Structure 1
Amino acid sequence: MFSLTSRHIAATVVCTLATGALVSAPVVAAQTADGSATDKVTLLNITDYHGRISAAQPSTVAFADTIESLRAEAGADSSLLLSAGDNVGGSLFASAFRDDQPTIDVLNALGLASSAVGNHEFDRGVEDFQGRIEPAADWDYLAANVTVDGVGMKEYSLHEVSGLTVGVIGVVTEETPTLVSPSGMVGVQFSDPVDAVNRVADQLTDGDDSNGEADIIVAEYHEGAPAAGSIEVARAQSEVFDDIVTRTAGSVDAIFTGHSHQLFAWEGEKPAGERTGLVGSVDRTGLAGGSLGSLTGSLGGTETGGPTTRPVLQAGSYGGHIGRVTFDVDPETREVIGFTQENVAVPSSAAGADLSNPVVADVKQIVDATLADAEIVGSQPVGTVTGDITTAYRNGTRDDRLSESALGNLVGQFVKDAVADRGGADIGFMNSGGLRAELFNDPADQDGNITLAEANEVLPFANTLVTMSLTGEQVRNVLEQQWQPAGSSRPFLALGTSDNLTWTFDPTSPAGDRITSITIDGAPVDPAASYRVAAASFLAAGGDNFTEFAEGTDVRDTGLVDSEAWQGYLAERRVEGIDPDFARSAVAASNLPGTVQAGQEYSFTLSDLDLTSLGAPTTRTATVELGGASLGTFDAVSGIDDVTFGPAAHVTPLDGRVDITVTIPAGTPAGETALTITTDTGTVITVPVTAGATAPAPVR
């Protein structure tokens, strides 16, 4: 065993980097100082699998076949399968209706060795995790930053790979208490994940066999980057991710992340104080900004002279990719001297799967039996949609939680309607992270194209629906809390809302002042008035950092389970079907007038006009009215708006804008009124204004 000060020696390092799904293997293989061949250790990684037991898109059998193929490439006893957490929870119906046992069976069959605990492992509380999930899993669940009633959970595991000891440390996002039901987390404490990783990494490299020792150390963080553009952008957007990249101990050879469902394979610099000993030149051609390139250089010294960088990888979600990191290890010194990394795409179907492989065959047997049972229960039609109604998409990927979506707003409307006979509500809210699948239109299904299974997959968490009273000012605070606190995994979480709530925002304004107008049923929100609000119990308890909900008064649990009420909501509309609604609830606005004078001209801009849900049209025109009188129709500009507020003003691109110049008609009566802007895509934004007296004629 080697101490930290001798872990890295003279070497030639070759590593690769990419911003997309795949990183190419290096042209030159790493060698030891004397030119001899290196040992290889391959780490395969998954994250946020979320019970994807499915025949296609994703195919569970193809997922298994890809893992087995990568194992075969690595060679016998030279690979290790790991996970960054959220293996279960938020699952497809086939897994969910069996309490995720099929998913656990599949991962057991695949020989998952260790996994970080994810926040979704706690969906039903810590007792359920420790009493149901953990005992059923053949792998080690790790959470070095969690204690239960003062007792720490398992922190690390040790595995022999290619004759080397690989130490795996697991941690979970410190935000977990805001992401699950608080009632199930009594006595559970979460600490800083980086501090926990560094503490355990120190133990695994201190030369004391009594507390574990490892040749290679891997950190599995169930925490990740908010976006996958580049490591520099991701670090700038998230203090937590920046902390992971820059402060994780240099003794950690690889960082796997999860939670944010992003796909990237990046190169992160080790802490400066732990990477001295570099001699010679380093070619960083093509590495700026996280672009594809390679790093080569001669390293020397006996203190910490190995790679100055390490892989920072996240394998997306839902089993769509398998992360692969391969280390080159000097067989004499047992030191890592180079690495390659990539995210390998999983085929959408199992057409080419090798069923002669006993592991793949075993997984297929589990999947076939599970899907057959699920088909009996879940195939009955419950509803109809006339077009796809989906979450927000970005770069071809669903579940963009930073953006408003057609599905989120439909569910927000459902929440409001569902409680109509339980005291009613003025507004319905839905958190974007609770939408786990889409409503796809299949015209061939004449008897209803949304099945019980498909409906359940949209809202799988079985929350109850809760109503409460919030003041108008509190409603504003709720909307402001879409911008998440500093250090959150995602900088913004877009709420779905009932269709009677609209608002405007200025993304460049200071925190707390970004919401510039709010209307309910076309009338301005009164800050002092009380409004009845409905939401799922998770959100009502302040989940996803929407803490203002927890300050509500006259809180009532309706007893309605959201998934069951949702099925009824769809069933009631099965004959006529539900049409996709692509109207936006929120638009960005610049230079909105507060007070207007008759006869005067005013110019302002509305931006972020277009949803990114599948099938959403592009806004072409916007018509402006004042008191029922038309003030004109204006052509919209399609594409990303980086002009109105400047580049990267918002946490996600602003899609489409319209520049408006209107003259307030002469004779407009003084008093409270409103500008109403209606787009050809159905968005209706009401901007309250105060009209003054008609401007006097100029003196001639």
Structure 2
Amino acid sequence: MQLRSPGADPRSAAARTRSGRRAAGVVAALTAFGLAFGGAASAQAAPPTDKPKPPKPPVVAAKTVVDINLVTVNDFHGRIEQSGTAAGIARLSSAVKEIRAQNPNTVFAAAGDMIGASTFTSFIQQDKPTIEALNAAGLDVSAVGNHEFDQGFADLTDRVMPLALWEYLGANVYDKETGEPALPEYWVETFDKVRIGFVGAVTDELPSLVSPSGIEDITVGDPVEAANRVADQLSDGDDANGEADIVVFLVHEGAATTSVESATDPNTPFGDIVLNANDNIDAIVSGHTHLPYNHVIDGRPVISSGQYGERFSNMEITFDRKGKKITKMQNTIYTMALATDANGNVTQWYAQPDPEVVPIVTEATKVADVLGSVEIGIADAAFNRAQQPGIVNGQPALVENRGGESTIGNFVADVQLWALNQNRPAGSQVEITLMNPGGIRANIDAGSTTYREAANVQSFANTLVTLDLTGAQVKQILEEQWQPAGASRPFLKLGVNEALSYTYDPTAAAGSRITEITLGGEPLDPARTYKVGANSFLASGGDNFVTFRQGKNSADSGKVDLEAMVDYFRTFGNAAPDYAQRAVGVDVVGLSGGVATVKLSSLDFSTAADPKAGTVTVSAEGMEPVTVAVDSAFPTPSAFDEIGRATVTFPVPAGATSQTRFTITTPTGTTSSFVLPIS
């Protein structure tokens, strides 16, 4: 097989010799929770017998130089089906098995989050299809990630680990009462008398990423401290406590960017790991941040393969048994999608689907189709994405518009606010939720709503995240709806929760378009800190909403966005769209001679099924309300949220000042306001 590596960065770590390593020995078979986590099994004495012993086999000289392939992935998140650039487990399995066929001395390892935050086919079956598929693909060992704890520590140890044929490692997870390791700490495999050991650890931010009640029996320690302790144990020459010639650290923690500077930033959790991992650790395989990087830092590979099985890494390791040293550690990242067409559709894959794994995915899909037909609630009316004129198959048609306010975008934000505040302590309630339009991939039709229909709306299995942002930062995020120059879409309209509303001036300069923001009817305080919720994609700064990255105290709830929607419907039974606009355009185009002229926009939703405002009324204390018709035709250009436009001219009340508030109302429930620049 000829390996292809678009964009790979193959670099060889310098040969390194570590003191205290012995070249041979028996690896002890240790157990935790009844699960073996030693490497090679120790030999047992044969029972006495009077039968003549068979002749001894000829002695075969052990190899002096041993080549090992280490194939790694991370953050797979149950992406068992092929979708977009996620190749699916069947193709990933073939890639691993091709390497293993070339070199039987191959280990398939992972850095955590193999399950959890999964797509519907796996999620609806508690990730059993993912576990079965990874078993068939030959996964050998993995660190635990935070999502392995989504349903609690007991679920991990009592359900997930017995189903998984690979070893789950967590050296920094301790029993709260005894302080003893609560999970297997290491696993060792032997090839031609060369032992490669794996130490696993999870991010020490785990307590803030999952439900506290699910991990109340454990504590989480410093990952690098635990890794150093176990690596030293594997390197002390004592076969009784496990020995390894090569030690690989599998850690579910990662760099914030793909740059080497990020990986070595001492002020970050991952930088602390990279800079403080001791010399008994030969390579660091990481994850958690979903970014692909391939560094060599201080002669040691520091890698991550990205996410969802879109890529995998192949580390070629050569060990000189005679010299007791590693002479080669060269990692290459391979992209599963080798070529795409102009529309981004994959036209060439790295590998063909594994026939052993395909039936597992096929059966899981069938089961998910049945379970997906279960009704979860009733939509009183359709929840729609925004639309704009476009071309489909060469003919004019209405197409999705991610630049328009939508009933479904606002509904998702409302659902997420509700879900995040369930069982949340008083004083820490989420006040603002924001939803990116690209994360909404389908409408919800009126009538019976099924599990599958809800899954089709939010198909990425993002989790819900909370973080602290100032009012000024929230304003900047709303400014970032106008995308940077050169972006594929010039404007992305965020769904916002019901209590949040704002006005904007579509003609203003970049950075000054948001004119007013209110929360619960009160002005948003720029200096105050607010608890904000969003899906994990948006919360990480996705779609150029980079100000999210300035948030403090980020915490992953562990709840998948789909779960939130299902729970909402099952709790309330019915859901109805809110036809009030939560953002209104206000452009004061004239103010002279006691008369004001104001252009209003974003007074209507764009789909034909959504009721139209018809009219808009502007009023203030001391003036007669003025009502005018609203133009519901699509504007040009239509990629911005400007549908539902009206020009209102009215006399300014005597005594009005720059603090006088003019109220905007429509028959569809929109309520907003503005002030005039009266000097």
Q: Deviations over 1:105-133 (max 9, x none)?
A: 11111221111111111111111111111
Question: 2:70 is paired with a residue of what secondary structure?
Answer: strand
How far apart, CA to CA, are the structure 1 residues paired with 2:371 and 2:358? Answer: 20
After TM superposition, give the deviation of residue 142 of structure 1 in Å.
0.7
Larger radius of gyration: 2
Alignment correspondent of 1:220:
250
Structure 1 pair 211–246 and aligned structure 2 pair: CA distance change class (3 A): same
After TM superposition, give the deviation of residue 64 of structure 1 in Å.
1.3
Question: 2:319 is paired with a residue of what secondary structure?
Answer: strand
After TM superposition, give the deviation of residue 411 of structure 1 in Å.
2.5
Q: Deviations over 1:427-450 (max 9, x none)?
A: 854488xx999432599xxx9997
On the 8 A contact 1:167/1:217 being kept in 2, the answer is yes
On the 8 A contact 1:87/1:121 being kept in 2, the answer is yes
Alignment correspondent of 1:318:
308
After TM superposition, give the deviation of residue 168 of structure 1 in Å.
0.2
**One-letter amino acid matched to 1:266:** H
**One-letter amino acid matched to 2:303:** L
Instruction: Map 1:341-490 onto structure 2 (within 5 A).
Output: 341-347=331-337, 353-354=351-352, 360-378=354-372, 385-386=384-385, 411-415=412-416, 429-430=432-433, 438-441=439-442, 451-455=453-457, 457=459, 476=470
Question: 1:317 is paired with a residue of what secondary structure?
Answer: coil
**One-letter amino acid matched to 2:413:** G
On the 8 A contact 2:471/2:524 being kept in 1, the answer is no
Alignment correspondent of 2:96:
67
The farther-off stretch of 233-242 and 105-114 is: 233-242
Structure 1 pair 320–686 and aligned structure 2 pair: CA distance change class (3 A): farther
Question: 2:131 is paired with a residue of what secondary structure?
Answer: helix
Q: Give the counterpart of 1:167 among 186, 197, 202.
A: 197
On the 8 A contact 1:436/1:459 being kept in 2, the answer is no
Question: 2:83 is paired with a residue of what secondary structure?
Answer: coil
On the 8 A contact 2:114/2:148 being kept in 1, the answer is yes
Alignment correspondent of 1:42:
69
Q: Give the counterpart of 1:98 among 125, 132, 138.
A: 125
Instruction: Map 1:602-641 onto structure 2 (within 5 A).
Output: none
On the 8 A contact 2:121/2:364 being kept in 1, the answer is yes
Q: Deviations over 1:337-356 (max 9, x none)?
A: 2222122112468978556x
Q: Is residue 564 from structure 1 mapped to residue 567 from structure 2 by the alignment?
A: yes
After TM superposition, give the deviation of residue 460 of structure 1 in Å.
7.8
Q: Is residue 333 from structure 1 mapped to residue 319 from structure 2 by the alignment?
A: no
How far apart, CA to CA, are the structure 1 residues paired with 2:357 and 2:98? Answer: 14
After TM superposition, give the deviation of residue 572 of structure 1 in Å.
5.1
**One-letter amino acid matched to 1:565:** Y
Alignment correspondent of 1:129:
156
After TM superposition, give the deviation of residue 209 of structure 1 in Å.
1.4
Alignment correspondent of 1:592:
none
Structure 1 pair 431–546 and aligned structure 2 pair: CA distance change class (3 A): farther
**One-letter amino acid matched to 1:23:** D
Structure 1 pair 547–331 and aligned structure 2 pair: CA distance change class (3 A): closer
Alignment correspondent of 2:545:
none
After TM superposition, give the deviation of residue 311 of structure 1 in Å.
1.0
On the 8 A contact 1:30/1:328 being kept in 2, the answer is no
Question: 2:355 is paired with a residue of what secondary structure?
Answer: helix
Structure 1 pair 457–31 and aligned structure 2 pair: CA distance change class (3 A): closer
**One-letter amino acid matched to 2:287:** G
Unaligned runs of 5+ in 2: 18-62, 338-345, 389-405, 478-493, 504-513, 536-550, 558-562, 586-591, 593-617, 622-651, 664-670
Alignment correspondent of 1:140:
167
Q: Deviations over 1:415-436 (max 9, x none)?
A: 458999x9xx99854488xx99
On the 8 A contact 1:173/1:193 being kept in 2, the answer is yes
Alignment correspondent of 1:23:
9
**One-letter amino acid matched to 2:235:** T
After TM superposition, give the deviation of residue 582 of structure 1 in Å.
10
How far apart, CA to CA, are the structure 2 residues paired with 1:324 and 1:70? Answer: 9
Alignment correspondent of 1:154:
184
How far apart, CA to CA, are the structure 2 residues paired with 1:379 and 1:37? Answer: 59
Alignment correspondent of 1:610:
none
On the 8 A contact 2:408/2:443 being kept in 1, the answer is no
Structure 1 pair 416–497 and aligned structure 2 pair: CA distance change class (3 A): same
Question: 1:373 is paired with a residue of what secondary structure?
Answer: helix
**One-letter amino acid matched to 2:440:** L
Structure 1 pair 203–30 and aligned structure 2 pair: CA distance change class (3 A): closer
On the 8 A contact 2:385/2:408 being kept in 1, the answer is no
How far apart, CA to CA, are the structure 2 residues paired with 1:196 and 1:500? Answer: 46
Structure 1 pair 62–328 and aligned structure 2 pair: CA distance change class (3 A): same
After TM superposition, give the deviation of residue 219 of structure 1 in Å.
0.3
Alignment correspondent of 1:267:
296
Structure 1 pair 688–264 and aligned structure 2 pair: CA distance change class (3 A): farther
On the 8 A contact 1:81/1:111 being kept in 2, the answer is yes
On the 8 A contact 1:39/1:331 being kept in 2, the answer is yes
**One-letter amino acid matched to 1:411:** V
RMSD: 6.0
Question: 2:237 is paired with a residue of what secondary structure?
Answer: coil
Structure 1 pair 48–380 and aligned structure 2 pair: CA distance change class (3 A): same
After TM superposition, give the deviation of residue 72 of structure 1 in Å.
3.0
After TM superposition, give the deviation of residue 367 of structure 1 in Å.
0.7
Q: Is residue 256 from structure 1 mapped to residue 242 from structure 2 by the alignment?
A: no
After TM superposition, give the deviation of residue 565 of structure 1 in Å.
2.1
Question: 1:42 is paired with a residue of what secondary structure?
Answer: strand
**One-letter amino acid matched to 2:332:** E
On the 8 A contact 2:209/2:555 being kept in 1, the answer is no
Q: Is residue 198 from structure 1 mapped to residue 188 from structure 2 by the alignment?
A: no
Alignment correspondent of 2:391:
none
Structure 1 pair 535–61 and aligned structure 2 pair: CA distance change class (3 A): closer
Structure 1 pair 342–459 and aligned structure 2 pair: CA distance change class (3 A): closer
**One-letter amino acid matched to 2:251:** Y
On the 8 A contact 1:418/1:569 being kept in 2, the answer is no
How far apart, CA to CA, are the structure 1 residues paired with 2:154 and 2:11? Answer: 44
On the 8 A contact 2:72/2:313 being kept in 1, the answer is yes
**One-letter amino acid matched to 2:333:** N
How far apart, CA to CA, are the structure 1 residues paired with 2:316 and 2:352? Answer: 24
Normalising to structure 1: TM-score of the pair? Answer: 0.55
Structure 1 pair 416–179 and aligned structure 2 pair: CA distance change class (3 A): closer
How far apart, CA to CA, are the structure 2 residues paired with 1:353 and 1:385? Answer: 38
Q: Give the counterpart of 2:275 among 243, 246, 249.
A: 246
| Count of matched residue positions in the alignment of Structure 1 and Structure 2 | 481
On the 8 A contact 2:16/2:325 being kept in 1, the answer is no
Structure 1 pair 214–409 and aligned structure 2 pair: CA distance change class (3 A): farther
Question: 1:87 is paired with a residue of what secondary structure?
Answer: coil
Alignment correspondent of 2:27:
none
On the 8 A contact 2:71/2:108 being kept in 1, the answer is yes
Q: Deviations over 1:603-651 (max 9, x none)?
A: xxxxxxxxxxxxxxxxxxxxxx9x99xxxxxxxxxxxxxxxxxxxxxxx
How far apart, CA to CA, are the structure 1 residues paired with 2:335 and 2:556? Answer: 40
On the 8 A contact 2:336/2:350 being kept in 1, the answer is no
Q: Is residue 53 from structure 1 mapped to residue 55 from structure 2 by the alignment?
A: no
How far apart, CA to CA, are the structure 2 residues paired with 1:408 and 1:214? Answer: 53
**One-letter amino acid matched to 1:564:** D
How far apart, CA to CA, are the structure 1 residues paired with 2:366 and 2:297? Answer: 45
Q: Deviations over 1:346-393 (max 9, x none)?
A: 2468978556xxxx222111111111111233268987644699xxxx
Question: 1:451 is paired with a residue of what secondary structure?
Answer: helix
How far apart, CA to CA, are the structure 1 residues paired with 2:532 and 2:327? Answer: 58
On the 8 A contact 2:161/2:168 being kept in 1, the answer is yes
After TM superposition, give the deviation of residue 190 of structure 1 in Å.
0.8
Percent identity reads 30
On the 8 A contact 1:315/1:321 being kept in 2, the answer is yes
How far apart, CA to CA, are the structure 1 residues paired with 2:164 and 2:82? Answer: 23
